[in-house]
Structure 1
């Protein structure tokens, strides 16, 4: 009988040791999972910012594509607004004299 009591106390000690080890593991895991959640939130907020930038570049691309489709006929000056090469209206010196 003494041997059985000794065995049960060994298993109880082993159970307590493993329980403490598991508890320590969870205590270590909790701050790491919180840190992971914060990093994931940062990544998600950055992707939202990139979506805004992507929309801006897309509208610029559409503007440039539409401008290219509306190229002037031969003989008319070409240029983009804001570059100094864009002419709103071509003045004809002969028609100004009349």
Structure 2
């Protein structure tokens, strides 16, 4: 093996090593960015759960007041609040 071939081999090895190192650094940076984004998403999910629990408490409070205002147990039909998906509109009373 001549000196030129040995030098070419070393240069090529160093170039490929540097390219691999650069690729790993980019991968690490991308992984860190992904982890930060996932943490942000999980944090937002927890915030939505807190807001949903607050609205659920409000809904239960309002429903309890509505049920407490009814004059008889038969009239206290559990109806949801408008906008919550539990509100039922009927044309008349059924027996």
TM-score bracket relative to the smaller structure: 0.5 to 0.7
Write the mapping of 1:1-98 to structure 2, written as runs, cut at 5 A. 6=5, 14-73=12-71
**Larger of the two Rg values belongs to structure:** 1
Q: Give the Cα–Cα distance (whole angstroms) in 2 for the partners of residues 55 and 72 of structure 1.
A: 26
Q: How many residue pairs were aligned?
A: 72
TM-score normalised by length of structure 2: 0.54
Structure 1: 5+ residue runs without aligned partners?
A: 75-98
- Cα offset for 1:25? 0.5
Higher relative contact order (CA 8 A, sep 6+): 2
Q: Give the Cα–Cα distance (whole angstroms) in 2 for the partners of residues 65 and 18 of structure 1.
A: 69
Q: What is the Cα-based RMSD across aligned positions, in Å?
A: 2.8
TM-score normalised by length of structure 1: 0.53
Q: Give the Cα–Cα distance (whole angstroms) in 2 for the partners of residues 52 and 66 of structure 1.
A: 21
